[in-house]
Amino acid sequence: MVMGKLRKVSEKIFTPAALYMQKRGISPNAITILGFIISVAACGAYAYRHVLLGAFFILASGLLDVLDGAVARLIKDVTYFGATLDAVVDRYTEFFYIVGMALGGLVDWAVACFALFSMIASSYTRARAESSGGLKNCAVGIAERQEKIVILVAGSILYLCFDKALLVSALALTLLGQITVGQRLYYTYWYNKKRGLRPAQ
């Protein structure tokens, strides 16, 4: 939630980069796909226990996730397909981050599964709230995508002096993800109750 507010500020910072991409004819969707490819690289880095390299790739893919939207708005090319592609790719990137850590033995597989479930569940709750819950925007909750990236990168850095740091990060994502689900469900309930909305027939 906090990082979500900073996203708008970061987009302004990335405006020069967005202008460069525009001049080079690089589309927002191409940037999204590049972020996906880098997330696969992050998976490989963690699988071979190159933790700092993995953290670098996570940061890079996260920055591209901000940049694709900035470019789309700059060139007025915001499309339904682009928004859908971005959301789907975000779920894949989260999958590769966590699976890479599990493959490298940095996180137990059971914990990895719970972390993945929580991350996907919080995103799915938002998607359902916006598609059939009567909300135009349900970007609420303690752990949005930016917070997830910060937690994983912080865990990667702390891993240098504490070998359970990424396990703690995965457990934190599990807990915060479920809290976010609850927050989004409550917000959807409160929004609909306040406005007396009912499902469309």
What angle separates helix 165-195 from helix 80-103, to the nearest 10 degrees? 150
Tell me the pLDDT of the chain averaged across its residues: 88
What's residue 76's pLDDT? 73
DSSP annotation of 99: H
Q: What pLDDT is attached to residue 2?
A: 46
Q: What is the CATH number of domain 2-193?
A: 1.20.120.1760
Q: Using a pLDDT cut of 70, give the percent of the chain over it.
A: 91
Q: What is the model's pLDDT at position 68?
A: 83
Residue with the two structure tokens 């996730």: 65
The whole-angstrom separation of Cα 133 and Cα 137 is 10
Dist. CA 144–CA 119, nearest whole Å: 9
Between 5 and 62, the more confident residue is 62
**Over 80: is that where the pLDDT of 12 sits?**
no
- Domain extents in the chain: 2-193
Position 99 scores a pLDDT of 97
Query: For 146-191, what is each residue's pLDDT tens digit?
Result: 899 999 999 999 999 999 999 999 999 999 999 999 999 999 999 8
| Residues annotated catalytic, as ranges | 90
